[in-house]
Amino acid sequence: MEDAQIIELFWSRSEAAVQAAAKKYGRLLYHIAYNILANHEDSEECVNDVFFQAWQTIPPQHPVSLTAYLGRLVRNRSINRWHEKHAQKRYAGTEILLSELAECIPSVDSVEQETDAHELSAFISEWLSLQTNDNRILFLRRYWFGDSVKTLSRQTGTATNKLAARLYRLRQKLKKAMEKEGIRP
């Protein structure tokens, strides 16, 4: 079923919308959640919460890309869940993932910063469109989908150290582009 049809089902308040979205995107959303949480039960719960949240927010939202909309919902929910579960603990895997971008992407603590976050999102999307297809996919797989460097290394057949260095150079390019535009990390 096409995204437009699923969105139309949400708009008509048909319960088939959730079933269709779960069938089409359930595995992808679980993959995103699991890469952040590393826990099957929490990941499944986040995915279920996202379908409920989509039911509550469509309408009034009318996402252009259902994949991106649901992906963002599950990613945000998973990160929030991770922070709740690890408020006083150290967890290297996800903490490293989140800290790698911390040097070039500011945190969002106020309404002004929320507005800036939307501008930052648009800037990063534009910056990604200027990268090679391989670099764009690598960046998104690491920082959006949360794939580990080790997993990416296996999938691409590239040495882990070489891939880590490539990701570092991408982050540095992003940081320089942001500084050039007057966006402070």
Residue-wise pLDDT tens digits, 39-94: 999 999 999 999 999 999 998 989 989 999 999 999 999 988 988 887 655 555 55
In this structure, the answer to whether residues 66 and 109 fall within a common structural domain is no
> Cis (ω within 30 of 0) for the bond into 60?
yes
The pTM assigned to this predicted structure is 0.65
- CATH for 146: 1.10.10
| Cβ density class 34-58: b for 16+ within 10 Å, e for less | bbbbebeebbbbbbebbbeebeeeb
Reference 57, options 81, 73, 75, 43; nearest CA is 73
In a domain, 143, yes or no: yes
Domain coverage including residue 128:
97-180
In this structure, the answer to whether residues 23 and 56 fall within a common structural domain is yes
Domain end among 89, 116, 151? 89
CA angle, 172 then 37 then 41, to 5°: 165
In this structure, the answer to whether residues 48 and 105 fall within a common structural domain is no
Q: What is the pLDDT of residue 111?
A: 44
In a domain, 185, yes or no: no
